[in-house]
Amino acid sequence: MAEHNLTGTKGEELAADYLKKKGYTILETNWHFKNLEADIIAAIGQTLVVVEVKTRSSNYFGEPETFVNKQKQKNLIKTAHEYIIRNNLDLDVRFDIVSVVLGNNQMRINHIEDAFLFGH
């Protein structure tokens, strides 16, 4: 497996552990709909939280969360909509980003709640 794939997988594992410690229930990881994917689908209270995880080995080119562009946001909204329909859910929905920087024997996690909204 390519090193960037290993970094991404490690970041997703760290993000899931981080969310669990904050009281989230992890419902799915790497949930696919057609060619789209949600890294983590979680719940906290009566809110379904769709989480995009961005992992980098440094922030040299910018913070990882800045790479969640409008197209990625649209794809996550489509994925969330399909998940809600398939599971017949009636919950509030929120989109979060968890950015993970792994490098130089350090780890930094930044959790951005409500990173973007439906229709924006």
Degrees (nearest 5) of the Cα angle 100, 84, 110? 15
Which amino acid is located at 94 in the chain? Answer: R
Query: Which domains are assigned to the chain?
Result: 3-116 (3.40.1350.10)
| Strand arrangement of the beta sheet that strand 25-33 belongs to | 25-33, 36-44, 47-56, 92-103, 106-116
Pick the closest to residue 73 from 114, 13, 118, 32 (CA basis): 118
Pick the closest to residue 53 from 35, 30, 82, 70 (CA basis): 30
The H or E element that residue 5 is part of is: helix 3-21
pTM listed for this prediction: 0.87
pLDDT, tens digit only, all 120 positions of the chain: 555 556 668 889 999 999 999 999 999 999 999 999 999 999 999 999 999 998 877 665 656 566 678 889 999 999 999 999 999 999 999 999 999 988 777 788 999 999 987 644
